[in-house]
Structure 1
Amino acid sequence: MKVLGIDPGTAACGFGIVHENDGRVRALASGCWTTTARERPEVRLRVIFDGVQELIALHEPDAVALEESFVGADARIALSVGQARGAALVAAATAGIECAEYAPSRVKQSVCGHGRADKGQVQRMVKMLLALDEIPPTSHEADALAVAICHALMPPLARIAAS
């Protein structure tokens, strides 16, 4: 199974693609799309939409997994993260790829063993699980790889429930 994981955001949107075979996962690609606040919102969302479409065309994933929005104190940030999620979801739907969403605590639980892991722990566990030479350069990239790992290693019935 090949999974495209996405850590949505308009300023920084992480992505990671993993391939799972017989319970082992390996990274195929990862990175982060960035935009600035000076860019118009529709342009920022188009970067994400186009990026997801390009990755789907290039890697042909079986699924797209996204981290659910964390609703903090700032409603504007929650709104922009929701818009980024929407751009990614529409790009996946356009390609006919099923999507699943996971709460941040579920992703941390599956990758680190507990749902309250900090960013550094997630980065270190992603490095270890994927046998990477280095820790992913940004927390957004690490989180995207983590959500892809979470989906790829999720038991089949639980995957259906997350869809």
Structure 2
Amino acid sequence: MGTVKRIMGIDPGLAHTGFGVIDFCAGKIKLVSYGVIETSAQDSHEIRLLSIYNRLEAVVKEFAPDEAELETLYFSRNSSSALAVAEAKGVATLCLAKLGIPVFMYTPNQIKNTVTGSASSDKDVVGRYVQILLNLNEVPHPDHAADALAGAITHAHNYSHL
């Protein structure tokens, strides 16, 4: 039996930051945990970012990943939401760096292609494939958690080729 590598995927967002943790060993992946960190629009912007940091730090300390995956940013038509995602990603990156967790980044198309075999798959298809690959009874919800797990799976797949 080989060494177990614990991988955390993070799908950053200001309102919802998804996380997924898997174990990878000898080409096999196993679910450890997943969830979503939510912040309230009623809170100030800086308090929401601080909340993401604090709660993500607690999750990282609880599950002690060896490595983490973050999706690269892509620009959409809504620049204000893209900026909020970028800030949440910065907070996640800072948290991981502070805790000494190496971060690897993949594009949305790399993640979709690795998990489903098609870079044009939508969120529902990605979620169903995550369910299949992790042998789960249901699709992980919400989709932010499924996206984070898809990122962790992508890193495990790429790790096996390193």
Q: TM-score, normalised by structure 2?
A: 0.93
5+ residue gaps, structure 2: none
Percent sequence identity over aligned pairs:
35
SS at structure 2 position matched to 1:154: helix
How far does residue 53 in structure 1 lie from its aligned partner after superposition?
A: 1.2
Matched, 1:15 2:19: yes
How far does residue 138 in structure 1 lie from its aligned partner after superposition?
A: 1.1
Q: Distance in 2 between matches of 1:137 and 1:56?
A: 20
SS at structure 1 position matched to 2:124: helix
Matched positions, count:
158
Q: How does 1:114-133 map to 2 (within 5 A)?
A: 114-133=118-137
Q: How does 1:37-48 map to 2 (within 5 A)?
A: 37-48=41-52
Code of the aligned partner of 1:41: H
Aligned to 1:161: none
Matched, 1:137 2:141: yes
Q: Distance in 1 between matches of 2:105 and 2:159?
A: 15
Aligned match for 1:54, one of 41, 58, 63: 58
Q: How does 1:93-112 map to 2 (within 5 A)?
A: 93-112=97-116
SS at structure 1 position matched to 2:100: coil
Q: For the Cα contact (< 8 Å) 1:18–1:28, is it kept in 2? A: yes
SS at structure 1 position matched to 2:149: helix
Matched, 1:81 2:88: no
5+ residue gaps, structure 1: 159-163
Aligned match for 2:152, one of 115, 128, 148: 148
Q: For the Cα contact (< 8 Å) 1:2–1:152, is it kept in 2? A: no
Aligned to 1:3: 7
Which portions of structure 1, spanning 4 or more consecutive aligned residues, are displaced by more than 6 angstroms? Answer: none
Q: Distance in 1 between matches of 2:35 and 2:60?
A: 14
Matched, 1:29 2:33: yes
How far does residue 155 in structure 1 lie from its aligned partner after superposition?
A: 3.9
Q: Superposition RMSD on alpha carbons, in Å?
A: 1.2
Q: TM-score, normalised by structure 1?
A: 0.92
